[in-house]
Amino acid sequence: MKNKRIIITTVVILLVIIFVFIFKDKVLKIIYPKDYQDIITVYANKYKVEDNLIFALIKAESNFDENAVSHKNAIRINADYGRNSR
């Protein structure tokens, strides 16, 4: 019984790994949508930072929700604090 459980667990883990490997691009697009790729690339180049860093920041701050408002009243996807963001 214990061996059967180990085999089933191993098979499930292997299937998940294979699924993620095969569909990694689709999974990444769901986790990190790049709807703002053009503008982020412009600013990443301007400020000499990796565009993926900006995507990660947006994901952490607002999860790409254009209407997000933080508990500190930061708004938009990039946590714009109004005049302090300039």
Domain ranges of the chain: 1-30, 32-86
Amino acid 86: pLDDT? 47
- Phi-psi group of 73: left, alpha or beta (phi > 0 → left; psi -120 to 50 → alpha; rest → beta): left
Amino acid 55: pLDDT? 84
Q: What are the 10-residue block averages of pLDDT along the chain, 86 residues in total? A: 90 93 84 80 92 85 78 60 48
Amino acid 14: pLDDT? 96
Model pTM score:
0.52
By the 8 A CB rule, do 77 and 68 touch?
yes
Amino acid 75: pLDDT? 60
CA gap 12, 17 in Å, rounded: 9
Amino acid 81: pLDDT? 46
CA gap 20, 68 in Å, rounded: 29
